[in-house]
Chains A and B, each alone.
Chain A
Amino acid sequence: DGGITQSPKYLFRKEGQNVTLSCEQNLNHDAMYWYRQDPGQGLRLIYYSQIVNDFQKGDIAEGYSVSREKKESFPLTVTSAQKNPTAFYLCASSTRVGPDTQYFGPGTRLTVL
């Protein structure tokens, strides 16, 4: 089955630690995205990548980093510089033609202890 997987589902981090969230897709999509969702808020874009080895900052990139070494994978690292990392993180992917509808993974809930 084609789709987007994210792991882990739940992640706990101690203050001062970096953690990496995994996102993999087998939809053959060129573009991938990371969003953050806070309670009572819509989704906000952290980073996006249109092609392998290229990525761009979104609206709230500070304290986050990404890589795009493979078309299928777009991992997100939450660094210790992110002051309020507790949130729900969603990964999405899309083609780069037409309406480019974004399809989402199941998400990762990150909690800082």
Chain B
Amino acid sequence: AQTVTQSQPEMSVQEAETVTLSCTYDTSESDYYLFWYKQPPSRQMILVIRQEAYKQQNATENRFSVNFQKAAKSFSLKISDSQLGDAAMYFCAYRSFRNSGGSNYKLTFGKGTLLTVNP
């Protein structure tokens, strides 16, 4: 079974600075997807960024980018030019690529990192 670990329960950053959130995962599969979701105080889960494991290039979405290290099974999220609206709980999630009787649709989540942005 896959597991996802977020070792930083809380992080803080000054507005306009850069912060990196860590995520490691354990899997025996070679193909899979990785996601970062954001959960603001409203509690709605919002997709931040997605990475396909077969792609060597790191995904980027505006101020958000990832550092995907497949061999190390590491998937960190970098937020540049942090804004007050970035304050939220951030979850790393894993999904299998293979269709193994339907179970590939399951997302496995880490426990989250609470990000505080200081003005």
Q: Which residues of A contact B (CB under 8 A)?
A: 31, 33, 40-45, 48, 50, 56, 58-59, 88, 90, 92, 94, 96, 99-107
Contacts and interface: CB of A to CB of B under 8 A. Distances in A.
B91 to A, nearest CB: 6
A105 B43 CA distance: 10
Contacts of B112: 40, 42
A45 B94 CA distance: 13
B19 interface: no
Contacts of A100: 33, 95, 105
A99 B47 CA distance: 13
Nearest to B34: A99
Contacts, number: 56
Contacts of B75: none
Interface of B: 4, 33, 35, 37, 42-47, 50, 52, 91, 93, 95, 102-103, 105-107, 109-112
Contacts of A40: 111-112
Contacts of B50: 99, 101
Contacts of A43: 45, 91, 107, 109
